[in-house]
Chains A and B, each alone.
Chain A
Amino acid sequence: MAGSGTAHMRNTVDSVLTVRDLTVEFRISKNKIVKAVSGLSFDVVKGETLAIVGESGCGKTTMARAILQLPPPNSGEVIFDGTDLTQLPKENLRSARTSMQMIFQDPISSLNPRLTVHQLIDEPLEIWDRGTRVERDERINKLLFSVGLEPDLVLNRRSYEFSGGQCQRISIARALALDPRMLICDEPVSALDVSIQAQILNLLLFMKETHGLTMLFISHDLAVVKAISTRVMVMYLGKICEVAPPDVLYTKPAHHYTRALLNSVPIPDPTKQIRTELLQGEPPSPMNPPSGCRFRTRCVGASALCAEQEPQLREISPGQFVACHHPIV
């Protein structure tokens, strides 16, 4: 696993978001500290969709929130459009955050049940005083229409009157109201039905095209990631395992953890036999992570070297970076 591996960073002028050495720790009691994210670095280039995958509890959501400074990370840099968000004073951060909006996992809990759809989408416009009442109403209608909802039917209803998919559409409309440059989607479809998942994913892709968005897409579902991403980053216990374009990652994964993740994807064909063995055991506690490579306790290819030395990210084929001493060739 990469400690402070930066081989995958592209350092281009085009990068919208650059994260360096991001660390988030939670203090549980006096001397117990959970290292949810430890020394993560990556960059997102304009127009790209970076997918972040990993099992539950590996720090994906914590990382996304740390990027938005909600709450701020313990250390590291989050450079968005040339400014380091971690150094910004509160008032500047407030306005800087508007060009980076988030879509949450639970569509119902992300909408206040006491507000109508009109109030919900008007909220960001109202905060920043964008345009007159008439202009704002027009914009709300346009936004609703673009996410596939009929404004006249939904404007005066409240979130509990909608299905999960519809709520997620409202969330997307709300997130786009401020014309952000970047969208952080935190498992936006994992609470939805498979048929609705596809609709929402297509909507996100369409919005990305029409609004020229850059996306950070967090998911634990590799099938979803394959459909939407241009680059995939695999995380395990707060660190990066592998970074690669999806077609490379899916056909020849280099990290043992990536392979295990791919093997866990259900195959929608009952006649096909599953040959590969699945991962044994639970991920170790982030309070006391294993030495060296964090995955070694569950890795089939682990050796003595893995316990001593932490593997760093290195490029093993064009565009594919892996943090492993014994990558699968």
Chain B
Amino acid sequence: MVFFALFGPLLPFEHWTFVYEDALGVTPFSPGHILGTDNNGYDLLSSVISGTRMSIFIAITAVGLGGLVGSALGITAAFVRGKIDLVLSTAFNVGLAIPNLVLALALVSVLATNVDMTNPVPIWRRVTVLVISLTIVLIPILGRIARGATLTWSGREFVTAARSMGMRDMQIIRKHIVPNVLPALIAVAFLAVGVVIIAEASLSLLGVGIPDGGSWGGMIARGRNDLEYSPHVLYIPVIFLAITVISTNQIGEVLRRKLDGREAKV
């Protein structure tokens, strides 16, 4: 998947919007189109590859941004405690109380739709808004994890010891809190990548994501209409989506174990 995402444009395929007039709805494994084409004559392999780029780009950016902001807020909340903690964790809980998809849906439809149907919103703006709204959804999730982990670690005696040595708070956070909080965050972040890919697909399916099948979700949305005639148009992006989500979860798990191996022994 990462290979597709990185080298997709270099592969010798026609752009996915290229219409093969002679091959409408060809089944997989037919000559020239390994994964077949859909009813509009788009080559599915090429579509899936460009969909990979879009989906993974959105997921990684959203998780990256959400992780940065979320962990900064979470660590601050747990380290400073008091009123700031109260405000931030209440905000996290409010954020968590709203169903993810509904929140993202609301944000996208407010920010990235145009009343004037003849003048659609440009695609870059849709992508940006999608990333931002998914980030906003992720902040409370990752923030809470960071807060919880910071609470356990900052209660350890080595933090008190560091203070008694005259370490400044920022140094303590950098040297003692962040390295210990990171494994938990990374594990959850990888899980979140999977969730975000699915969320993005769901949004596209609902028609507010990337339009016209530019991502996997968009492809699924398109394939849905032709389910009776050519089901593979739907299945192929779904299979890719499933494989990606499962593998990110696996990578997350392996990473967590690797980073946490020492802790497990204590």
Contacts and interface: CB of A to CB of B under 8 A. Distances in A.
A111 B158 contact: yes
B176 A94 contact: no
A114 interface: yes
Interface residues on A, range: 20 to 34
Given A70-B160, A110-B157, A110-B158, A123 B180 contact: no
Interface stretch (A13-21, A95-103, A287-295): A95-103
Interface residues of B, number: 21
Interface in A86-133: 94-95, 97-98, 100-102, 104-106, 108-115, 123-124, 127-128
Contact of B165 (A65, A114, A123, A158): A123
B262 A160 contact: yes
Given A110-B157, A127-B171, A70 B163 contact: yes
A98 B166 contact: yes
A110 B266 CA distance: 13
A97 B171 CA distance: 17
A174 interface: yes
A147 to B, nearest CB: 16
Contacts of B163: 70, 97
Contacts of A95: 166
Nearest to A175: B161
B266 A101 contact: no
B162 A123 contact: yes
B164 interface: yes
Given A68-B164, A114-B180, A124-B165, A109 B158 contact: yes
B185 to A, nearest CB: 14
Given A112-B180, A114-B180, A104 B160 contact: yes
Contact of A127 (B165, B180, B263, B265): B165
* 6 A-B pairs closest in CB distance: A110-B157, A124-B165, A104-B157, A94-B166, A112-B158, A114-B179
Interface in B244-266: 262-263, 265-266
Contacts of A224: none
A171 B157 CA distance: 11
B156 interface: yes
Interface in B153-190: 156-158, 160-168, 171, 175-176, 179-180
Contacts of A128: 166
Given A112-B176, A158-B262, A97 B166 contact: yes
Contacts of B158: 109-112
Contact of B263 (A105, A109, A113, A124): A113
A65 B160 contact: yes
A112 B176 CA distance: 7
A160 B161 contact: no
A110 B163 CA distance: 12
A113 B164 contact: no
B164 A102 contact: yes
A203 interface: no
A71 B132 CA distance: 40
B156 to A, nearest CB: 5
16 contacts: A65-B160, A70-B164, A100-B164, A102-B161, A109-B156, A109-B157, A110-B156, A110-B158, A112-B176, A113-B180, A113-B262, A123-B175, A127-B171, A128-B166, A160-B265, A171-B161
A108 B263 CA distance: 12
B261 to A, nearest CB: 10
